[in-house]
Amino acid sequence: MRVKKVFRKDYLTLLESVLFLDFLKGLSVTLKNLLRKPITTQYPKEKLTPPKRFRGAHGHFVWDGTEPPSLKAIEKFMSYEKAKSRCVACYMCQTACPMPTLFRIEAVQTPDGKKKVTRFEMNLLNCLFCGLCVDACPVGCLTMTDIYELASYSRRDEVFSVEQLEERGKDYKARRGDEPERIWPNDEERKRLWGEIKWSG
């Protein structure tokens, strides 16, 4: 084990203390920064695009022909409509969720023996935004979008119905569905903080 004593010089030399060299050093740093460009993103006016993996408000992907094989396999057991939520009411998201009260999911059996999801509500007031529900979803329905402005004036506005979730899922897929899993979209706002990065490839 390599142990390293820290370099400690806890007094000022006479020259330093008479000529205020310590203050001057500090002043030079602040002056240098004064002449630099600010790094601020002017939030409501300018907004950073969240990265692809960002865990924002939830959404539902819909039946649009890009279903994963796991959902195709049970398609015939489900009563669903095109362009509606892919949810199959397997309750996996609810089971994986650390908060038992977050989800409200209900399903019924239609007369022809198929399963129909009648209710899917999420109370985002209880949400940790940990993403365990998305991981648990076996049919590629539940997702987390890049929407992060979720404030509202009433608690019950934070309970989202399946229609709202579908809307968000569709919107998210249209905007960012094909994006590669990059660390962040290379926009001007990030450059202010980061400067020019040499991206490989």
- The interface with another protein within residues 142-161 (CB under 8 A) comprises 144, 153-156, 159
The window from 15-23, 76-84, 110-118, 165-173 that contacts another protein (CB under 8 A) reads 15-23
Task: Say if residues 104 and 120 touch (Cβ distance below 8 Å).
Answer: yes
Q: Which has the closest alpha carbon to 69: 138, 123, 132?
A: 138
**Rounded to an integer, what distance in angstroms lies between the CA atom of residue 146 and that of residue 176?**
9
Q: Is 174 in the site for another protein (CB under 8 A)?
A: no
From the CB of 85, what's the least distance to another protein, in Å?
17
Q: Which stretch binds another protein (CB under 8 A): 58-66, 78-86, 170-178, 180-188?
A: 180-188
Q: Exposure of 147 by Cβ count < 10 A (0-12 exposed, 13-18 middle, 19+ buried)? A: middle
Query: Residue 3 CB, nearest distance to another protein (Å)?
Result: 5
Binding track, positions 106-145, relative to another protein; x by CB under 8 A: ---------------x-x-xx-xxxxx-xxx-xxx---x-
> Given the rule CB under 8 A, which of 80-88, 89-97, 110-118, 165-173 is the region that contacts another protein?
89-97
- Give the shortest CB-197-to-another protein separation in angstroms: 5
DSSP for 21-70? HHHHHHHHHHHHHHTSPP----TTTS-PPPPTT---SEEE-B-SS---HH
Shortest Å, Cβ 111 to another protein: 28
Residue closer to another protein, measured from CB, 68 or 177 = 68
Decide: is 5 part of the binding site for another protein (CB under 8 A): yes
Determine how many CB atoms are found less than 10 A away from the CB of residue 95. 12
How many angstroms separate the CA atoms of 51 and 48, rounded?
9
Token pair 């968000």: residue: 168
Compute the distance between CA of residue 67 and CA of residue 97 in angstroms, rounded to an integer.
23
Q: Give the tokens for residue 107.
A: 């399903």
Kindly state whether residue 163 participates in binding another protein, applying the rule CB under 8 A.
Answer: no
Q: Name the residue nearer to another protein (CB basis): 2 or 112.
A: 2
- Interface with another protein in residues 21-80 (CB under 8 A): 22-23, 25-31, 33-34, 36-40, 42, 50-55, 68-71
